[in-house]
Amino acid sequence: MAFGKKKDKKLCAEVVIYTRYERFWHWSQAALIFILAFTGMNIHGAWHAMPMGLAVIIHDSAAIALMTLWIFTAFWNFTTGNWKQFLPFLQVHPEDGRFVTGVKIFLGRLWAVIRFYAWGILKGEPHPYKKTLQRKQNPLQALAYLTFMVIIGPALWASGLAYLLYDLWNDFASAQSWLQIAVFIHTAAAFAMIAFIIVHVYMTTTGKTVFHYIKGMITGVEEVELSEIEKEYLETHAPDLIKDENATC
C-alpha cells in the first residue's frame, strides 16, 4: 500500500492503532519485566523479599516466558511490517508526504520533541509530533524503543541465557571468566532497563491528561493524522477501527 504518496489533506481521527496482539505484547511484557526486575534484584542481593530459591524459580520462569513472547513478537513484527515503526530514520516527508529514509528529517523532528519535553510542555505548547498510521511513535520514542529492542533487550536475554545455561558450558576453558562477563552484562543491562522503565512510565503521564496514553495502550485507540486515502481505506476495509472521525490531534 502506498499511503501518503499523494499530497493529501490531513484529517484527524481516533483510530485503533495498537492491535490486540500489540497490546497483549506490551502489557504481558510489562508484567514480566516488573517480575524479572523485582526477583532479579532479589537474586542480586539488593533486597531480600523472598527466599533465593523462590526468586530463582520465578525469575527463570518469567525469563523463559518473556523470551517466548519475544520470539512470537519478532515473528509478528516482521510478518505485519510493524517492525518499520521502530526504524527512527524512516520518516514521512514533510512536503510530498512520501515515506523516506531521512536522517535530517529525523534529527529535526527529534530535536523538536526533545525541545518540547524540556521546554514546550511547560509552556503549554502542543506536542510537535503528530502520530500517523505508519509512524505511531515520535522520533524520540522510536529511538528509545529501538535501543530497548536491539541493545538492552538482547543484552539481557543473551547474557541471561548464558547465565541460565552455565552448567552446560562450565567445563569450557575460562568458563568462569566468560560467566563473569555475562553476569556483568546482565546486571548492567538490568539497571539500564529499570532506568528506562522509570522514564517510560513517567512519559505516559505527558499526554493530554495524565492517563491519556495509558488508556490508549489499553484500548488501542489514539488520535492520529490520516490522509484522505488512509481514511477512505479504513472506512472501506476496517470501519471498526475508526472510533471517532472528528477528533482533535
Partner 1 sequence: MFRHKILPVSLLASALLFPALASASAAQDAPAAAKGKGFVSLRQLKSLSTTADHSRFKELQGPFTSGPQVTRACLSCHNKAGRQLRDKVHWTWHYTNPVTGQKLGKAVMVNNYCISARGNEGICAKCHAGFGRSSPDYDLDKLENIDCLACHDGTGTYFKTVVTPGHPRVRALFTPKKPVPWTKAAQNIALPGRKNCGKCHFFGGGGDNAKHGDLSSVLFDPPRDVDVHMSRKGANLACIDCHVGSGHKWAGSRYVMTVGDPGKRAPGAPRAKATCTSCHTQAPHKKTSIIGIKLNGHVDKVACETCHIPAFARGGVATKIFWDWSKAGKLKNGKPYKEGGYTQGNGKERETYMTLEGSLKYGENIRPTYRWFNGVMRYVTIATKIDPSRPVQINSFSGSYDDPGARIYPFKRMQTIQPYDKGNKTLVYPHLWGDDPDAFWGNFDMGRAVARGMKDAGRPYSGQLGYVRSQSWWPINHMVAPKEKAVQCDECHTRDNGRLANLAGFYMPGRDRWWWLDLLGWLAIFGAIALVIVHATLRIIAARKSTPVKEGKE
List of residues contacting partner 1 (CB under 8 A): 43-46, 48, 51-53, 56-57, 60-61, 117, 121-124, 166-167, 170-171, 176, 179-180, 183-184, 187-188, 190-192, 194-195, 198-199, 202, 205-206, 208
Nearer to partner 1, 62 or 234 (CB): 62
**Which CB, 52 or 87, lies closer to partner 1?**
52
Q: Write phi, then psi, for 223 (nearest 5 degrees).
A: -75, 130
Q: How far is the CB of 183 from partner 1 (least distance, A)?
A: 6
Minimum Å gap between C-beta 165 and partner 1 is 9
Q: Which is nearer to partner 1, 54 or 238 (CB)?
A: 54
CB closer to partner 1, 89 vs 148: 148
* Residue 53 CB, nearest approach to partner 1 (Å): 5
CB of residue 189 vs partner 1: minimum separation in angstroms?
Answer: 10
Neighbours of 181 (CB within 10 A): 12
* 5/44 with CB nearer partner 1: 44
CB closer to partner 1 out of 28 and 187: 187
Grid cell locating 180: 563473569
CA distance 168 to 187: 21
Number of neighbouring beta carbons within 10 Å of residue 22: 20
Q: What whole-number distance in Å separates Cα of residue 160 and Cα of residue 28?
A: 19
Grid cell listed for 178: 566468560
**Residues 125 and 116 sit within 8 Å (Cβ to Cβ):** yes
Least Å from the CB of residue 203 to partner 1: 9
What's phi and psi for 226, nearest 5 deg?
-115, 145
Question: Least Å distance between CB 36 and partner 1?
Answer: 14
For residues 77 and 56, give the distance between their C-alpha atoms in angstroms, rounded to a whole number: 30
CB atoms within 10 A of CB 136: 17
Residues forming beta bridges with residue 43, ordered by sequence position: none
Radius of gyration of the chain (CA): 21
